Amino acid sequence: MNTQEFQIQVLPVKDKLFRLAFRMTGSALEAEDLVQEVFLKVWNGRMELESVQNIEAWCMRIAKNLAIDRLRSKHWQTRTDAEPVLEIAHEASPYTLAEQHDTLAHIRQIMNQLPEKHRQVMELRDIEGLSYEEICEVLGMTMPQVKTNLFRARQAVREALLKLTAFKN
């Protein structure tokens, strides 16, 4: 694979990788750096690409694993001390949420309150448009696990949306 083929076949996934990394790290700078690292890894291991069936899912899995490594590393901890991540209002009441004018921020908060696996599955499905098989590959889950997590996530979001509407009215 030459650089031109790399640009055509691999780079289109860059924004999906960035969003995944951003949602996991909460830092745009960290996410951009991580995406670059993913692409360098893929480029250096491009001989293996022939055996990869789904390049997009494969890249996303690498990004997810790198993000987990960084979250665990001391280095990331130091950097995020200086660069605060998005605050998650775990204890925000429906009334507080209703007071906020930004509707999208409400949804973001609802999503952020979901358990991590529920949220990840729902984001990959509803934002990134991945198939169940691709979600299995990216998150390393079985099909039943993916479906169960998605079901629970959507049920929780539905409930939160209905509560929010009730408070607004």
Partner 1 sequence: MTTRDIQILLDKYFEGQTSLEEEARLKQYFQGEQIDPAFLPFQPLFQFFESERETGLSPSFESKLMTRIKAEKQARIRNMTTYIARIAAVAVIILGIAIVFPKLQRPGNAVANINWDKYEPQTEDEAMAEATAALQLLASKLNGSTKTATHELEQIKKSATIFK
Q: How many CB atoms lie within 10 A of CB 103?
A: 9
Name the amino acid, one letter, at 93: S
- Residues 55, 5: contact at Cβ < 8 Å? no
79 binds partner 1 (CB under 8 A): no
Would you call 117 exposed, middle or buried from its count of C-beta atoms within 10 A (0-12, 13-18, 19+)?
Answer: middle
77 binds partner 1 (CB under 8 A): no
First-to-last alpha carbon distance for the chain, in angstroms, is 58
82 binds partner 1 (CB under 8 A): no
- Please identify which residue in 74, 91, 129, 144 interacts with partner 1, judged by CB under 8 A: 129
- Please identify which residue in 6, 49, 55, 117 interacts with partner 1, judged by CB under 8 A: 6
Chain residues in the site for partner 1 (CB under 8 A): 3, 6-7, 11, 14-15, 18-19, 22, 32, 35-36, 39-40, 43, 103-104, 106-108, 111, 123, 125-129, 131, 147, 150-151, 154-155, 157-158, 161-162, 164-165
